Every structure is written in structure tokens, then in C-alpha cells.
Amino acid sequence: MSLSEGHAKRRCVTLHMVSSLDGFIAKKDNSVSWMDSPGSVYEAGVSISEEEAAAFVKTIDCYVLGSRTYEHALELGWPYGDTPAIVVTRREWPPARMRKTIEFYAGDLKTLVDVKLAPRYRNIWLVGGAMLCQRFLELGLVDEIRLTIAPVLLGEGLRLFGGLLKEERWNLKNVVAYKNGFVELLYSASSTSTC
Ligand SMILES: NC(=O)c1ccc[n+]([C@@H]2O[C@H](COP(=O)([O-])OP(=O)(O)OC[C@H]3O[C@@H](n4cnc5c(N)ncnc54)[C@H](OP(=O)(O)O)[C@@H]3O)[C@@H](O)[C@H]2O)c1
């Protein structure tokens, strides 16, 4: 077994997305208020404190995102702190749009995951958007899907996994219902996943 294969076995790529009930991840105008949670409380649900959320985020070793998601994240106020992030893009970026913790990457995605990232990071979070996630799924590079369903119908927008994926069964690992009406579903690609 080569060194890169050994590392590749230990990495865990988690695809994380927030979807509306009707399967959209973004509105046409890119507004994000639909991800807020005013309104009814689901009494049987759980809530997590800011400290718990911060401790969880600390377990993430790096983020991977497509360039459109990157641009939107910059507009909203960078949410990934100082955790390393890799932006997949074939464009040249002006220095003003760069941050110290960010690397730009334009090559093959399997090489990105198994050669560039796996030796350095175990918990790799793929955080969008639809185009990049679709490509990762097609290439079999996703170990876990962590899908958060927001309690809202959007009617139109950008589809979660809009392209042509082949039929593939995933294994449900966990379900968490939150007081704010959001539900988080965790699936793994393999029933014996060590993610
Ligand atoms: N609801 C959620 O959880 C969630 C999460 C993330 C994003 N979003 C939303 O989704 C939208 C963006 O998603 P999107 O699907 O339009 O775009 P995206 O996946 O974020 O970015 C697409 C871009 O990534 C680069 N790219 C993708 N695949 C590549 C490959 N194989 N090789 C090289 N570069 C590649 C290209 O960049 P270049 O054109 O620069 O070469 C491409 O134009 C935004 O509205 C964002 O807010 C929602």
C-alpha cells in the first residue's frame, strides 16, 4: 500500500448542506433568511449551546468549497474562522479576495482529497455548493452526508444535487431534531464507516 493510500483510508470527507423541504439550497436572489428559525418550537427537539457548537466546529480540520460558495461566504462574513479552507476554482483571484487560511485549487479532485488533504487532515468538510458537491459524489469522494433540513418550502432556487447521480444506497447513522424545527440527517457511504 502506498503512503497516499494509507492516508486516504483514514480521511473522512463530510458533505454538509442545508436544504429546504423541497430540496433547494439557495434562493435565486441568494438571500439566506430562510435559514433563520423564527416561529414555532418543536418541544421534543434538542437545542445546543454556543459552547457546544464551538466545540463541535473545533473537530473540523479543514473546509472545501466551490468558488461561488466562497464568494457568497465572503459577502456574508467569513463563517469558517481560522480553520484552513480550500477553494476549488480555475480562476485567478485578486489578492484582496484572499485570506491567509485559504488555498486555491484547480486540479483533479481525487488528488486534492487523497494526496493533498488526507495526509494533513482527517475531518474534511465539503460545504458546497451544489456543483462541487455533485462532482465529489460522482467521483465517490464523500464518506458522509450531513444534511440539515430547514422547515420551509422555497418553491424555486438552486437544487441540492441537481445533476444526474446514479442510484446509490446510503446508511442512516443518526437523526437529530432541533427545537427550532430543523432536522439533521447523517448518512454514511459505507455501513462499516469509521468516520
Ligand atoms: N444551503 C447550503 O447549505 C449551501 C451551502 C453552500 C453553498 N450554498 C449556496 O450555493 C450557491 C453556490 O453553489 P453553486 O453550485 O452555484 O457553486 P459552487 O459549487 O459553490 O462553485 C462552483 C464553482 O466551483 C468551481 N468548481 C466546481 N467544480 C470544479 C472542478 N471540478 N474543478 C475546478 N473548479 C471547480 C468553479 O469555479 P470557477 O468558476 O471559479 O472556476 C465553479 O464555477 C450559493 O448561492 C451558496 O450560497 C448553499
The response to whether residue 150 sits with its C-beta less than 6 Å from ligand 1 reads no
Tens digit of pLDDT for each residue in 15-25?
999 999 999 99
Mean local confidence (pLDDT), 143-166: 93
Tens digit of pLDDT for each residue in 116-138?
999 999 999 999 999 999 999 99
Whether pLDDT at 107 is above 70 = yes
Position 4 scores a pLDDT of: 47
Q: How far apart are CA 7 and CA 55, in angstroms?
A: 25
Position 10 scores a pLDDT of: 83
Position 96 scores a pLDDT of: 65
Q: How far apart are CA 31 and CA 67, in angstroms?
A: 17
97 falls in which pLDDT band (50, 70, 90)? low
- Confirm if 171 and 145 have CB atoms less than 8 A apart: no
1 falls in which pLDDT band (50, 70, 90)? very low
Mean local confidence (pLDDT), 101-111: 96
User: How remote is the C-alpha of 100 from its chain's centroid?
Assistant: 21
Tens digit of pLDDT for each residue in 169-194?
999 999 999 999 999 999 999 988 87
Pocket residue to mutate for ligand 1, from 88, 112, 137, most atoms within 8 A of Cβ = 88
The response to whether residue 159 sits with its C-beta less than 6 Å from ligand 1 reads no
Spatial neighbors of 122 by CB under 8 A, at least 6 apart, are 10, 11, 12, 61
Question: Which residue in 48, 49, 105, 53 sits closest to 79, CA to CA?
Answer: 53
Element (H, E) at 4: helix 3-10
Measured in degrees and rounded to the nearest 5, phi and psi for residue 39 equal 100, -150
Measured in degrees and rounded to the nearest 5, phi and psi for residue 72 equal -70, -40
Q: Which residue has the cell 414555532?
A: 40
The response to whether residue 66 sits with its C-beta less than 6 Å from ligand 1 reads yes
Position 129 scores a pLDDT of: 95
Q: How far apart are CA 78 and CA 67, in angstroms?
A: 13
Q: How far apart are CA 146 and CA 127, in angstroms?
A: 10
Task: For ligand 1, atom 25, name the residue with the nearest CA.
Answer: 89
Position 24 scores a pLDDT of: 97
Q: Annotate 79-140 with DSSP letters as a single string.
A: TTTTS-EEEE-SS---GGG--TTEEEE-S-HHHIIIIIITTT-SEEEE---HHHHHHHHHTT
